[in-house]
Structure 1
Amino acid sequence: MLEYKFDTQLLIEGHDLSEDAINEYITNNIEGDCLLAVGDDELIKIHFHTNTPWKVLEYCASLGDIHDVVIENMDRQANGLQG
C-alpha cells in the first residue's frame, strides 16, 4: 500500500504567481510527496502525491483559476484498475 494515495495534478492561472511560494506553502501545510510546482508568474503546473487532494485544490483555487484537474487513485492503478 502506498503512503500517499492520490496523484493530484492541475494548472493554476493567475497573476504574480510564485513557484517558490507555492512550493513552500504546500510543503509546510499539506502532507504528501513528489511535489512539482513549475511555470511562470501567470501559469503554474502542480503535481503532488497526497491523501488530501481537496486541500491542494482549495489552496490553489485561492491563488487563481484552476483547471485541467486530474486526481488519480494510485492504489487502484497499482492493482491494474482505472485510477
Structure 2
Amino acid sequence: MLEYKFDTQLLIEGEGLSEDAIHDYITQNIQGDCLLAVGSESLIKIHFHTNTPWKVLEYAASLGEIYDVVVENMQRQADGLQG
C-alpha cells in the first residue's frame, strides 16, 4: 500500500509566481512527498504525490490559470490496473 497514492501534475500560468513560495506553501499545508515546483515567474510546473490532489489544484488555481492537469492513481498502477 502506497502512503500517497495520487501523482498530481499540472502547470500554473500567472504573473509573479515563485517556485520557493509555492514549494513552501504545499510543503507546509498539504501532506505528500516527491514535490517539484519548477519554472519561471510566469509558468510553474508542479509534480506532487498526495492523497488530496484537490487541495493542490485549489491552491494552484488561486495563483493563476491551471492546465495540463494529470492526476494518476499510483496504487491502481502498482496493483497492475489502469491508473
TM-score (norm 2): 0.99
Unaligned runs of 5+ in 1: none
Unaligned runs of 5+ in 2: none
Number of corresponding residues: 83
Residue 44, structure 1, aligned to residue 51, structure 2:
no
| Shift in Å, 1:82 | 1.1
- Tell me which stretches of 4 or more aligned residues in structure 1 moved more than 3 Å: none
TM-score (norm 1): 0.99
Partner of 1:63: 63
| Shift in Å, 1:20 | 0.2
Report matched runs for 1:1-83 at 5 Å. Answer: 1-83=1-83
Two-structure CA RMSD over aligned residues (Å): 0.3
Distance 1:13 1:81 in 2: 33
**Counterpart of 1:55 in 2: which secondary structure?**
helix
Distance 1:80 1:68 in 2: 25
